[in-house]
A and B are shown apart, each in its own frame.
Chain A
Amino acid sequence: MSSGPVNITAASVAAILIATASLANPYEKYEGTTIVVSWPALSHFSAAETLVEEFTEETGIEVEIDALQYLKLRDRQILEMSKPEGEYDVVSWVVMWKGEYVSKGLLTPLSQFFTSGSLVDPHYDIDDIADAYLQNGGVVGGAKGYLPGVSGALYGIPFGAETSILAYRKDIFEEYGIEAPTTYDELTAAMTKLYDAGVPALTSRGKTGHQVTAGWLLHLAPMGGRIFDDEWNPVVNSPEAVKAAEFMRHVARTGPVGIETFGFGESAAAFLQGDAAMHLDTLKIAAMSRNPSLSKVDGNVGYALHPEGNRCGSETGGFAMGIPANAPNREAAFLFIQYMTNKAGDQRMVELGGDPIRISTLQNNTEGFDEYPVVAAQLPCADPDWRPLIPEWNEINIDVLGQALTQVITTDDPIQPIMDKANEQLREIMEREGYYTWASYRDAR
């Protein structure tokens, strides 16, 4: 960027001039600085643009937004962050990518800023941010490299994060005398009852590949299942995993017609168009159901916690924001992130149509947002380990589980053998990629 050095010089001159006076305002030092933000062109982020303007107005820090299509975002960010001098001051990543970014040394640990009294607002209250979001999107280096733990460090603040909740049709439930289910047993019974009454029960993703796996993963964690044990041994044929697969088959049998072909869009549309009584997936369904151009069911939707199997565990996902190691304006970048995610910023995001990350925001906005109390109650048990964030995940997800689960929902074949076979294939992939070298080394000794 050709204007970079000029800006820095201008900012330094301003800083020297102002340094003599007492600092009445933490932003004053960075007035006139321009920071560049890279984030995806998605609804939460376009809603945030108003808040960005307010930030510039209040602080005098200029912001240039580079909003890219979600699929192009990662390549562009890696390219920028690998240069000696990057262009981006703030990058927004999908949870999946955080491990790679950190392992390649592309991000600045946020601890650097949280130790600076002039930068951190004492009222920021980081503990108010939903822990699941923070751990899932921002913390890197714990157990398995992507989970919370004492060895983890904070690299980002969630922004545009989400979890899963159950949305259901209040009118239909009332008509058939069904209570909102709290457990999977109750959910299963409700589905059967609706199906027997001729009402398609629970919609779901079910298309071959990552969609059907995503549908199944929603149930795997609450039922107590996992993809791997702690030693990277696949356990997708465990009783819990098989039970989750059986549940998927039940979903496909009792749900709206065509689940076998649904991606997220089709699955949500089935609920929003009134062709399914329940939707168990991201909380974004709430905003969608209030959108008259998408929904025919506004006003009839109730929300409940993601049902429990033998544990409480909703999914977490979405984006987090952090600062590249080669960012030209790191302090200003931190001030930007802090502004966007502090209590006032979070509140503004709700008003602008975005998704909040703070428990307090969720609790303060129950008016007009029926799902917020549910989300607030859901987040404490949201599960950051609902799928492994390892490079092999794509292959496992699409090629192995995506195929096995399609067989589960489209045929009557016994489920245990299907999952046994998938487990074997998973083991071969992990073997191929060298995950068992430690185990064999130990065995050999």
Chain B
Amino acid sequence: MSGVQLVDVTKSFGAVNVIPPLNLSFAEGEFVVIVGPSGCGKSTTLRMIAGLEPVTSGAIQIAGKDVTWARPKERDIAMVFQSYALYPHMDVAGNMSFALRLAGTPKDEVRRRVHAAAEMLELTEYLERRPKDLSGGQRQRVAMGRAIVRDAYCFLFDEPLSNLDAKLRATMRTELAILHRKLDRTMVYVTHDQIEAMTMADRIVIMEKGHVQQVGTPREVYNSPRNLFVAGFIGSPSMNFLDAELRADGPRVTGQGFDLPLPPRLREAVDGHRSRQVIVGLRPEHFAAPRTDGGTEASSLAPVDLGVKVAEYIGSSQFLAADIGGRQISAAIEVGPDSAPLTSGTYLFDTNRIYLFDETTGDAIT
């Protein structure tokens, strides 16, 4: 079997178990993003794949070979670190060519590949500079370049963009996605930023405290979050959660300040659960301003009263900090750039987008 597999891998630091038995399988050529809050064990997982951290138990396979106890250099991997980890005493060309030189690649070949990578990353004019004379973004690209000249089987990224400013980060995200398409290599990318995960990943692994919460494409994890954690973690701003009662008449969910009919998608799912407490999930972006045109879609839109406290103007939308029946929520309303600041009143919510979660387990009710 090719790709990268983790089979029942665990990791403990002394008595502290950081990774409970973990099973993951990445296909060859796939771009996988492992996402989760800080300290959940993402780096540890990545470092075990790289061979920088020995596993406590379990096995790791790369390209069909068991590499559980192989040294990093025997795993045919390249890695980009969060701190970039450039060699301060080598210039950019030296940094990028180090691995090739160690491998005894012919000089011409080394030059060719370094120049190609530099070209791709727009680093050609910096090849003779030392890392300390580069900006953060340039260093980041050198770190990237150091990995891609390798032409390794698998590329590992540990939060490579987290030290960049927002704009650069957005650009780099796109470039990485393009890079992946060009190189067509297995890439495992670790981040705590769900936007990075959503924009770049073929598949996302959502982790919490070492446990995999859900694995799926960006669409899957956005549209069908398996539980409260995933639902809250994916999407920006985060999903609003409200306590509610599941009512057979409709069927509908009601709570303080709202009363929403359930969409057909959920009707079957709630068949067995009449008259019980649940948690309703409402994504901010699924609120809308009251419509005057009244299209066909309007059938799925239900009115909700929002007490607006603050309306943040961000261009074509406005972000609202509002309350529903005394509970603080957020909403993103697309009203166009010329709209006046929104005020309290009756807004609409797209009932097709309602999520329900079990009050005790947190699992999605589908």
Q: Do chains A and B touch in the complex (CB under 8 A)?
A: no
